Amino acid sequence: MRYLAIDHGQKRTGLAISDASETLVSPHSVIETASEEELLRRISDVLVAEGIDAIVVGLPINMDGTESDRSLKVRQFVLAMQELTDKPVHLHDERLSSFEAGYLVGDLELTRKKKKKRLDAIAAASILRSFFEHENTR
């Protein structure tokens, strides 16, 4: 199955995809928009173009395990995604995904602006890798 991971943000949303064997995860793109309708439309385009079978959305959880203020917005986004597509949509704890992405992007020889643009897609890839690791330990 091919998965699409989504690191949902207020202005920027990172996307990452897996290969069909669920072994390779790659940052895909960053969608810059504050419009939820535009975001959903563009994600729908990616679902079709990439032949995606399932979706993983990062759920912002505080370090103490409680849900954050952003969690409610992400849950609302997931409901909208479920109305948009018949593909399964999974929520996955995204704690430390942005930290890991920042660490990984730090080694890239890019300008600060270009690093910032890639960061959300790399965070989405981190969420997807974590999802696969969690699923394999069940």
* pLDDT mean by block of 10 residues, the chain; 138 residues: 95 95 93 95 97 96 84 95 95 69 52 64 90 76
Q: What is the pLDDT of residue 113?
A: 58
- Find the helix or strand (DSSP H, E) in which 13 lies: strand 12-18
How many domains does the chain fold into? 1
The pTM for the full model equals 0.85
Q: What is the pLDDT of residue 109?
A: 55
Q: What is the pLDDT of residue 62?
A: 81
Show the tokens assigned to 37: 């309708």
Q: What is the pLDDT of residue 105?
A: 54
Show the tokens assigned to 91: 């929520």
For residue 136, what are the contacts with CB-CB under 8 A and spacing of at least 6?
Answer: none
Q: What is the pLDDT of residue 118?
A: 72
What's at 28, amino acid-wise?
A: H
> CATH no. for residue 41?
3.30.420.140
Where do runs of H (alpha helix) occur along the chain? 36-50, 69-84, 97-106, 112-136
Taking the alpha carbons of 94, 130, 135, 83 in that order, is the dihedral positive or negative? positive
Instruction: Show the domain range for 7.
Output: 3-136
